[in-house]
């Protein structure tokens, strides 16, 4: 994919020459990772569930995973690019909790690879929508990682970014819950913003990691209830 670099970023790179986000070695302008670090990350190649991107070790072709077979989602599907382990997990952690805003570039470029999937080929009328962060969490982290990623790929790929959702309460991830319990736990966590116009729009939710998919699905539920015509999701990694 050929991507235009925003001029301001190019200028900043001249003043502060880029270093590898993984090991800190000096890098040519426009490259966020050195070849060694790039070779350490794992993409989600191979068969995976077409709905939730869960990889199938050893399977010859993709089929619906047991979760998606048993429970209908509000999301059409969620597409993840990387496996959430090793350097990928480390970079996401530093981005979210270490306030390393510059990592939106390497993570955002990985996220943009999601668009090589045929199902995202016609995206001209799609709106990117970040998963909102609770205001208290936002003060703590300084920025919303989902929004930073959405803005990065929005600029690079010329896609609209909208913020139709707000977070009413913060929920702790409870991975040991089953799906039904998680959905109950998330009920009321998100709402449409006061002036949000979602009617007849197609949304592509953006997030850093998909673990259980419940948060993204709850966002999709709220958007569909508000009149959106379809909701899909992309994430950098799959936990
Ligand atoms: Zn490196
Ligand atoms: Zn699945």
Q: Same domain for 46 and 162?
A: yes
Instruction: Tell how far the Cα of 22 is from the centroid of ligand 1, in angstroms.
Output: 5
Contact 222, 165 (CB under 8 A): yes
Instruction: Tell how far the Cα of 86 is from the centroid of ligand 1, in angstroms.
Output: 13
Give DSSP secondary structure letters for 2-28: --PPPHHHHHHHHHS--B-TTT--B--
Residue 19 structure tokens? 């270093």
Closest listed ligand to the CA of 75 = 2
Q: Same domain for 71 and 163?
A: yes
Residue 67: which domain range? 41-238
Contact 239, 175 (CB under 8 A): no
- Which pLDDT score is estimated for 162? 97
Say if pTM beats, i.e. exceeds, 0.75.
yes
Closest listed ligand to the CA of 62 = 2
Q: Strand 230-238 relative to strand 126-130: parallel, antiparallel, unpaired?
A: unpaired
| CA dist 16 → 13, 30, 62, 88 (Å) | 5, 12, 44, 24
- Which pLDDT score is estimated for 11? 65
Phi/psi of residue 172, nearest 5 degrees: -85, 140
Instruction: Tell how far the Cα of 131 is from the centroid of ligand 1, in angstroms.
Output: 30
Closest listed ligand to the CA of 87 = 1
Q: Same domain for 102 and 217?
A: yes
Q: Same domain for 195 and 130?
A: yes
Number of domains comprising the chain? 2
Q: Same domain for 30 and 143?
A: no
- Which pLDDT score is estimated for 2? 43
Q: Same domain for 96 and 16?
A: no
Instruction: Tell how far the Cα of 67 is from the centroid of ligand 2, in angstroms.
Output: 6
Q: Same domain for 96 and 135?
A: yes
Cα dihedral 108, 112, 113, 118 in deg (nearest 10): 160
Write the CATH number for 153: 3.40.50
d(CA 213, CA 203): 16
- Which pLDDT score is estimated for 60? 72
pLDDT (tens, 9 = 90+) of the chain, 239 residues, equals 445 555 666 666 666 668 999 999 998 888 899 999 999 999 998 889 999 999 887 777 768 898 888 888 999 999 999 999 999 999 999 999 999 999 999 999 999 999 999 999 877 789 999 999 999 999 999 999 999 999 999 999 999 999 999 999 877 766 677 777 887 888 889 999 999 999 999 999 999 999 889 999 999 999 999 999 999 999 999 98
């Amino acid at each position: 994919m050929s991507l235009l670099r925003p001029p301001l970023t190019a200028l900043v790179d001249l003043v502060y020459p880029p270093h590898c986000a993984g090991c800190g070695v000096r890098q040519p302008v426009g490259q966020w990772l050195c070849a060694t670090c790039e070779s350490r990350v794992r993409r989600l190649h191979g068969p995976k569930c077409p709905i939730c991107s869960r990889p199938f070790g050893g399977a010859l072709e993709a089929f619906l995973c047991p979760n998606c077979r048993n429970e209908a989602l509000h999301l059409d599907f969620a597409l993840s690019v990387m496996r959430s382990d090793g350097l990928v997990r480390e970079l996401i952690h530093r981005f979210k909790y270490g306030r390393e805003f510059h990592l939106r570039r390497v993570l955002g470029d990985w996220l943009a690879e999601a668009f090589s999937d045929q199902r995202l080929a016609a995206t001209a009328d799609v709106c990117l929508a970040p998963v909102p962060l609770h205001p208290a969490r936002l003060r703590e982290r300084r920025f919303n990682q989902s929004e930073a990623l959405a803005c990065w790929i929005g600029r690079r790929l010329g896609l609209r970014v909208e913020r139709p959702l707000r977070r009413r309460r913060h929920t702790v991830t409870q991975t040991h819950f089953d799906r039904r319990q998680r959905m109950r736990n998330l009920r009321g966590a998100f709402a449409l913003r006061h002036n949000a116009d979602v009617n007849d729009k197609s949304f592509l939710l953006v997030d850093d990691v998909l673990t259980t998919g419940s948060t993204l699905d709850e966002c999709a539920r709220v958007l569909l209830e508000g009149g959106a015509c379809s909701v899909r999701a992309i994430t950098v990694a799959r936990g």
